[in-house]
Amino acid sequence: MGSDIEWELYRALLGVLREGSLSGAARALGVAQPTVGRHVAALEAALGLVLFTRSQTGLLPTEAAFALRPHAEAMESTAAALERAASGLRDGLEAAAGTVRISVSEVVGVEVMPAVVAGLAAAHPALKVELVLSNRVHDLLQREADIAVRMTAPRQEQLVARRVGAIELGFHAHPGYLERRGTPATLDDLASHALIGYDRPTPFVRQAAKGLPAYARDRFTLRTDSDVAQLALIRAGAGIGVCQVPLAARAPTLVRVLADAFTFRLDTWVTMHEDLRASPRCRIAFDALVAGLEDYLRTQCAP
């Protein structure tokens, strides 16, 4: 097996794994279909492995392809990180120039980050921001992102982290819903209300359910694993759901209920790889995230 296999061959592997066909991978990668086919064949020959078998529904990955996928994705992340670093070098090390990739949760990404990114864009026009909205914890060591906003303390020694505080969560509803259905006075009253929650259990759901039996999947009238969709349902008056307190404080159309009976706090951290501390683009973005989140958290303490 050769040790000088080109990245483009692994890129073709990822394209076919994600799209399920040569034609789909070609469209996604912006190359001709025969090129993808040649790259896959070349990779199979170089590795001495069969990566795909043909079927009526398309190309079926073999166990070997699945085993290689995380390593190919790590290469992809590293290649993207190299390009982001190079973009900063091209535009000058002393300026906040180049690309910075930021990973945040869905709700923070939609509700908090736009103002932070707008401020960055106004202050540093040469800075480009890639905003990744996902509740999955992106691996900063593998450079899946440059900076991440996390709701758990980082454990890797190679990461630089700043705790910005704790985001409080509580039950909220639209005034129109409470007018129709009444305001619950106790947790037991939730049994007669439309609850909005998750379809699949998450660490938050499992933790909350320990002290709150009413917050369980079989009690949810409306289920979705998207935090943004849950928030939209609460705002539309569809039921009672969990919302971030500082977010509700910014939106007078949301009313908190059962504040004394239920509260939950999410420790919030801004993190990045220690190797990026010398990067002006990352340092400036890191500081802007810290400042923006601290301002957001102050909302929940406002009278």
Which single residue is written with the structure tokens 């060591």?
Answer: 141
Looking at residue 164, its pLDDT comes to 92
Reported as a pLDDT band with limits 50, 70 and 90, residue 303 is very low
Which single residue is written with the structure tokens 């404080």?
Answer: 249
H or E element, residue 255: strand 255-256
- Helices 33-47 and 7-19 pack at an angle, to 10 degrees, of 110
Q: Which two tokens stand for residue 98?
A: 């180049």
pTM: 0.66
Exposure string over 216-232, b if 16+ CB within 10 A, otherwise e:
beeebebebeebeebbe
Looking at residue 183, its pLDDT comes to 95
Per CATH, 7-73 and 95-164+269-301 having the same topology is answered no
Give yes or no for residue 157 having a pLDDT over 80: no
Segment 124-153 mean pLDDT: 79
Q: Would you say 273 and 146 are in contact if contact means Cβ atoms under 8 Å apart?
A: yes
Mean pLDDT estimate for the chain: 84
Q: In angstroms, rounded to a whole number, what is the distance separating the alpha carbons of residues 203 and 219?
A: 17
Q: In angstroms, rounded to a whole number, what is the distance separating the alpha carbons of residues 288 and 282?
A: 10
Highest mean pLDDT pick, 32-46, 83-97, 130-144? 32-46
First to last CA, the chain: 67
36: β partners: none
Which residues have CB under 8 Å from 136's CB, separation 6+?
A: none
Reported as a pLDDT band with limits 50, 70 and 90, residue 71 is confident
What ranges do the domains of the chain cover?
7-73, 95-164+269-301, 167-266
Give yes or no for residue 82 having a pLDDT over 80: no
Give yes or no for residue 16 having a pLDDT over 70: yes
pLDDT digits (tens, 9 = 90+) for 176-185: 999 999 999 9
Give yes or no for residue 240 having a pLDDT over 60: yes
C-alpha dihedral, 147 to 149 to 151 to 152, nearest 10°? 20
Q: Quickly name the fold that domain 7-73 has.
A: Arc Repressor Mutant, subunit A (1.10.10)
Which of the two residues, 191 and 212, has the higher pLDDT score? Answer: 191
Q: Quickly name the fold that domain 95-164+269-301 has.
A: D-Maltodextrin-Binding Protein; domain 2 (3.40.190)
Q: Which of 236, 14, 247, 301 is nearest to 113 (CA)?
A: 247
Q: Candidates 3.40.140.10, 3.40.190.10, 3.30.930.10, 3.40.50.300; correct CATH number of 167-266? A: 3.40.190.10
Give yes or no for residue 95 having a pLDDT over 60: no
Q: Which two tokens stand for residue 262?
A: 């239920």
DSSP letters, 180-218, are: HH---SSGGGGGGS-EEE-SS--HHHHHHHHH-TTSSGG
Give yes or no for residue 123 having a pLDDT over 60: yes
Lowest average pLDDT, out of 53-62, 123-132, 135-144, 268-277, goes to 135-144
Give yes or no for residue 302 having a pLDDT over 60: no
H or E element, residue 147: strand 147-150
Q: Would you say 129 and 121 are in contact if contact means Cβ atoms under 8 Å apart?
A: yes
What share of the chain in percent tops pLDDT 90?
A: 23
Exposure string over 51-76, b if 16+ CB within 10 A, otherwise e:
bbeeeeeebebeeebeebbeebbbeb
